[in-house]
């Protein structure tokens, strides 16, 4: 994401404090109106994704939406960015369906001042952090970090995150 590990640690430490404080933000928070809009869209977005509601999702994704995955070469993730709402939608719905089957849960969070979520496995270990870039009322870009090295400071990371695709 173009940020140093130390910077990311600080961002997540602040995010954790904000979550603990009930979401009250300080420095990197967007204006309240944009924050409310982004937060509401994120809530509806993840609900629709988890429920497999394709129609609702289509309306929330920009036609040229792009999904970036950062596995850092250590975790399974898409190799190159995925563009276009049909492909992005199918990928996300499939991902959350598999995650839920494994007992995973999703918690809304603010990531780098953007709405997003943290995905936990059944043992409450951090599997991924997802950031939504919202503009004009739709999701323009999705960034999913699954690199265990970048997630370890949020909480424990499962070893399964380090397995190559097809091993679970």
Percentage of the residues of the chain whose pLDDT score is greater than 70: 66
Reported pTM: 0.70
pLDDT tens column, 24-59:
444 455 677 777 778 889 999 999 988 889 899 999
Q: What is the pLDDT of residue 59?
A: 93
pLDDT tens column, 1-25:
555 666 556 666 666 655 655 544 4
Q: What is the pLDDT of residue 83?
A: 92
Which tokens belong to 152?
């370890």
- Other Cβ atoms less than 10 A from the Cβ of 47: the count is 14
Which tokens belong to 22?
């009930």
Nearest of 147, 137, 2, 140 to residue 83 by alpha carbon: 140
Percentage of the residues of the chain whose pLDDT score is greater than 90: 27
Query: How far does CA 163 lie from the centroid of its chain?
Result: 20
| Residue 160 vs residues 101, 111, 128: alpha-carbon distances, Å | 15, 23, 12
Q: What is the pLDDT of residue 24?
A: 43
CATH topology of domain 5-158: Nuclear Transport Factor 2; Chain: A, (3.10.450)
- The β-bridge relationship of strands 61-70 and 138-145 is parallel
Positive/negative CA dihedral, 75, 80, 81, 82: negative
Domain ranges within the chain, ordered by starting residue: 5-158
């Amino acid at each position: 994401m173009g940020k140093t590990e130390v910077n990311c640690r600080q961002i997540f430490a602040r995010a954790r404090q904000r979550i603990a404080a009930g979401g009250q933000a300080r420095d990197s928070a967007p204006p309240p109106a944009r924050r409310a809009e982004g937060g509401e869209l994120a809530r509806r977005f993840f609900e629709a994704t988890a429920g497999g509601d394709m129609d609702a999702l289509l309306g929330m994704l920009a036609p040229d939406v792009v999904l970036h995955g950062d596995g850092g070469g250590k975790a399974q993730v898409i190799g190159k960015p995925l563009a276009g709402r049909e492909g992005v939608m199918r990928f996300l719905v499939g991902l959350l369906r598999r995650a839920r089957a494994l007992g995973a849960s999703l918690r809304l969070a603010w990531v780098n001042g953007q709405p997003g979520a943290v995905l936990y496995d059944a043992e409450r270990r951090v599997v991924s952090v997802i950031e939504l870039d919202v503009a004009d009322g739709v999701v323009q870009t999705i960034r999913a970090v699954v690199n265990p090295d970048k997630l370890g400071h949020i909480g424990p990371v499962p070893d399964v995150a380090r397995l190559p695709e097809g091993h679970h």
